[in-house]
Amino acid sequence: MPELPEVERARKLIHETCKGYKIKSVDSVEDKIVYTGGDDHGAFAKEISGRTITGCERKGKTFWMTLSGKGRFPVMHFGMTGMIQLKGQEPTWYRRKPRESSKTWPPRFYKFVLKLEPQAGSIGTEPVELAFLDGRRLGRLRLLPDPVTSHPPVSALGFDPVLSHPTFEEFQDLIAKKKGTVKGMIMDQAFSAGVGNWVADEVLYQARIHPSCPVNHLSSQHVKDLHYQLRAVPLRAVEVNADSKQFPEDWLFRWRWGKGKKQEKGKKKAPISGDEEEGGEDVKPVGKDYLALPNGKPATITFIEVGGRTTAVVEELQKMPDGVEIKPKISKGGKGSQSKKRSKGNDSDDGWSGLTSEEEVTTPVKATTARQRGSASKKIKHDDTDIEMDKVKLEEGDVKPLKKARKPPSKAKTPTSARAKAPQKGSSKVSSRRSRSSGKDMQVDIEDGEGSSDLSDLPFE
């Protein structure tokens, strides 16, 4: 996700190339997800057409153009893959994808294109076209009155580390009642607006703080270092216009992209073709082979999960406080729980969770017959381990779904008399039904014909 430095780069581009230009026309594309706040693409275009761009402002990851005349301002959020692009120029790539052309106009996945005309006093003298594009539709476009910072969602944001960093005393007061992990706290947009995953990891690495450290266990020195680095890291990135190849050589960012691979001295670098993703291309410092510890040895970069986010950490330097042990909460499996893996690309920095939860392994119980229900216990096998299930008892009439692998048809034919034979009174009959959605067989027990008329309530997968 584009974070504070990348969004500041986009804001700066608009401010330095479009200020003073009049919006001659707006080509907007219908998108009921991206356009939000009660205005569709048509209302959005109508309200900003004919007005002059007087500047561009930002708070955290949200930025907006200020316009002349009456009316609201267009407020933008990139989400995961949003970006802006001037016609004839490279877009504000965050993660560059191969084979994606910057020459196509209008660009793929654009949500609006502004046709701008120069005016007296405008920065340039040639017409300009500006596009907002978002391939994954996780960005947001809305209209808000002036001042934008007084209206939600912008009004709900915390301090901006570059624009309005608190004093140390104010910072101490802010964290005094915070709970959960330190990484979760600084990624909370209501606490520090604009800090995302890579900025948070860099801040904590430079401050030598373990990302999983509980906030209330930070030492006084750690609090001082955190306060300093929380401004120093994004400010340094902004100074080089978010160009990762100009980040300091001792930054974790320059080395973290070989996820899962150990740093090795003398390891050959991959050739640069120019089409790599930003952060995915070789951003390692020239002439260096690894991130070095203070003693000169290679640092080991490991990846853990904190607050549901992949986190880079150098545990030789980022240590947990003495006596502090993370005891993860146990969440039950099932619908709505954290037992399901996060969908790829749907990570959000707009909120934060506390300690990382651990999945609980649950073992399914097979449907049983009336005779089997009388037993007090039974054994089931799970991952080659026998698990004792004591006092497993199902109520009479329960209908339980059971996944069952399809068996190949038997070569021996069943006698007609056996197929035609009706079930005896008191016996149980097994009825099989095939899921329409998944094509899997579902097997249920039906006692004395109960439930045989309607299986619509079964939770087919």
Q: How many CB atoms sit inside 10 A of residue 51's CB? A: 18
Residue 164 neighbours by CB distance under 10 Å? 10
Q: What DSSP letter does each residue of 10-42 carry, written as one string?
A: HHHHHHHHHTT-EEEEEEE---TTTB-TT--HH
Locus of tokens 């270092």: 225
What is the end-to-end Cα distance of the chain in Å, rounded?
32
Report the SS3 class of residue 175.
helix
- What are the DSSP calls for 239-287, one per residue? HTTT-GGGS-TT-GGGTTTSTT----TTPPPPPP-S-SPTTTS--SPTT
Beta bridge partners of 243: none
For 373, 376, 381, 393, the CA distances from 390, given in Å and listed in that order, are 12, 7, 14, 9
Q: Please give the angle made by the CA atoms of 91, 138 and 162, to the nearest 5 degrees.
A: 65
Decide: helix, strand or coil at residue 5.
Answer: helix
Q: Is 264 left (phi over 0), alpha (psi -120 to 50) or beta?
A: beta
Report the C-alpha gap between 218 and 185 in whole angstroms: 12
What residues are labeled active site?
A: 2-3, 61
Strand partners, 382: 385
> Is the CB of residue 27 less than 8 Å from the CB of residue 113?
yes
Cα dist from 393 to 365, 370, 373, 446, whole Å = 10, 10, 6, 16
d(C-alpha 137, C-alpha 34), whole Å: 6
